[in-house]
Amino acid sequence: MQEFLEKKYKIIIGLILVFMLTVSILNAWWDSAIFDETAHIPAGYSYLTMHDMRLNPEHPPMIKDIAAFPLLFMHLKFDTTQKFWTTDINGQWDAGHNLFWQEGNNANLLIFLARVPLVMLSLLFGLFLFKWVKESAGISAGLFALSLYAFDPNILGHNHFVTTDVGIAGFMLMAFYYFLRFVKDPTWKNVFVGGLFLALVQLAKFSSIMLFPIFGLVTIIYPLVKKVPSMEKNIFLFKLKKIGTYLGKSLIAFTFSIILVWIFYALNNYAMPKDKLAETINFYFNPTDISNIKNIYTNHTLLALNNSAFSRPLSEYLLGIAMVFKRVSGGNGAYFMGQVSSEAFPAYFPTVFLIKETFILLLFILTAILIATGKNSLALFNYFKAKLSQKKINSTGTFSDYLRHNIENLALLAFIALYAYVSITGNLNIGFRHLFPILPFVYILVSKTIFKFYKKMNASVGKTAFFLIISILTLFMIAKTISAYPYYMSYFNEAAGGPKNGYHFVTDSNADWGQDLKRLQIFLNEHPEINKIRVDYFGGADIKYYIKDKYIMWYDSKRPLEAGWYAISTNFLEGSIYDKTKKDQASYRWTQKIKPVYQIGTSILIYHLDKNTLSELN
């Protein structure tokens, strides 16, 4: 079977990518605009048409530019005489509403076309993942890694949205690959190719800075453990020279990446007035707030860079990084397992990982951990056994050899550990998507560990059985993912009750990001008996655009309750029910006494209050 897979691997890759493309394009059409797209799409469009980055400076421009490129051919109307552009500071949400819903543009087509380039980008990342694992562990392992990626419901749930989440995961994958290539062979070609991809990842999302500590550590450690040629007499001097070479070339690669970042920002922002950028800087980092010394230093640095047209692109770039740090430290209101808080939940990310990933992937991860633990434990046992029997062992050489031969795996593990630690201890609990940067490295390590273990097994019935079990589990994972269509963004495994029930555990971009408003429109068209419906919708789409005069704007504290139909987003519902600062009469706790009559997609619940029910609630 393995020989057949490796012989037909190009066809298999094609089939996997066709599936991924098909379901992603379908969801790109049927999912309504999510919350963040209302900011990202108009921002990207304004960068390309106005060369001005006053909208959404919190994220780098590249992915937004890629998404907005097809919109250049639509001849869209975008009224930049309105205050979201002229007087507001970062009026991104109003800009989105203007571009999507207020100027007569075809909103459905606009949003769909902006999503298509990111779908295509996700396919490219899948191919790159296959390439990496194929080179290090063989074709079968590469196909396995690609399957873990392409049939991960979380990837399929987000790869068609105009956000930075899948993009940063993919560009981190590429940057890491070319960094490791440079480490193993520090030629000038690899210096500049590595610098190019380091620039691309910085232009994708500011969480890219998490790569720098790992890259720096590996750059120092690897030359120390490199094998010393036998003719070298002064080992210390040799290693010192190697460290100097690596650090010098790394600095050149980093400098090259910053130059590319500067060029990209300059192209996107050369028409932004100096005063507008200064106004934005002063808004987010108030220079009169003497109680916050960080604000003052940040303000002074950014304004100094803004004073020169040459350094202004770096001012915009550093402003975005500073805004991210400020937001993370400030927190974000979140619902998590019956609690609402703007403070971080330490159990948040471990829990969402366990309930939003498929059971099969979790099983593969556990298998890989057991294999790796067993292998390292055996090596440690043999080492101490040899020591006890007084066999001659060069312990330093042994450890150096281990580091040198396992630098790739150790670097990936170090990044996963660092990123997970920062996420868990950070103060921004708004979605599993923030863990996406570690997923490609999880796929790589799992695939390499399992298939290298398989290859080392002696040819036997056990080896055949092991491959058969892995194959069956992979096919079962694929079947489960296909059966979950189209609810990939809101996917939860069986432990959380599946996509329809996951909102009881967590909401926001895990379950409800506004993706189901189009489905509410379809539902109302199929139920003409509902002539009016009270809507409390969380998302980026415009209720009036889809439901027209059928809707009545509603919110949790609106009273008195009225007889009739209600459509409530689960994000607002759970947040209102479990917010302890809200009184019963100003919340949705009344919904706990009755059952919803319909569930639209997975994120909108429909309630009906007749006169009898209403009297009981009141």
Residue 396's pLDDT is 46
- Both structure tokens of 370: 């057991």
Q: pLDDT value at position 606?
A: 98
> What pLDDT, on a 0 to 100 scale, did the predictor assign at position 390?
56
- pLDDT beneath 70: ranges in the chain: 1, 376-398
3-state secondary structure of 365: helix
Q: Which of 577, 584, 551 is nearest to 565 (CA)?
A: 551
Which pLDDT tens digit goes with each residue over 359-382? 999 999 999 999 998 776 655 555
Q: What percent of the chain has pLDDT over 70?
A: 96
Q: What is the pLDDT of residue 458?
A: 86
Whole-angstrom distance, CA of residue 576 vs CA of residue 558: 12
| Backbone angles phi and psi of 270, in degrees to 5 | -65, -20
CB atoms within 10 A of CB 264: 20
Q: Is the backbone peptide bond immediately before 273 cis, with ω within 30 degrees of 0?
A: no
Residue 572: C-alpha distances to residues 100, 151, 426, 540, 592 (Å): 23, 30, 23, 14, 14
In this structure, what DSSP letter does residue 58 have?
Answer: T
Q: What is the pLDDT of residue 403?
A: 83
Task: Please give the model's pTM, rounded to 2 decimal places.
Answer: 0.94
Distance CA 568, CA 389 (A): 71
Break the chain into its structural domains and give their ranges. 165-272, 274-330, 348-483, 502-617
Identify the pLDDT of residue 225: 87
Per DSSP, the three-state class of 567 is strand
Say if strands 604-609 and 564-569 run parallel, antiparallel, or are unpaired: antiparallel
* Structure tokens given for 438: 């570690």
Determine the pLDDT at residue 380: 55
Q: What pLDDT was estimated at residue 405?
A: 83
Q: Give the pLDDT score at 6.
A: 79
Cα→Cα distances 174→126, 152, 405, 447, Å: 11, 19, 21, 17
What is the C-alpha separation between 159 and 157, in angstroms, rounded? Answer: 6
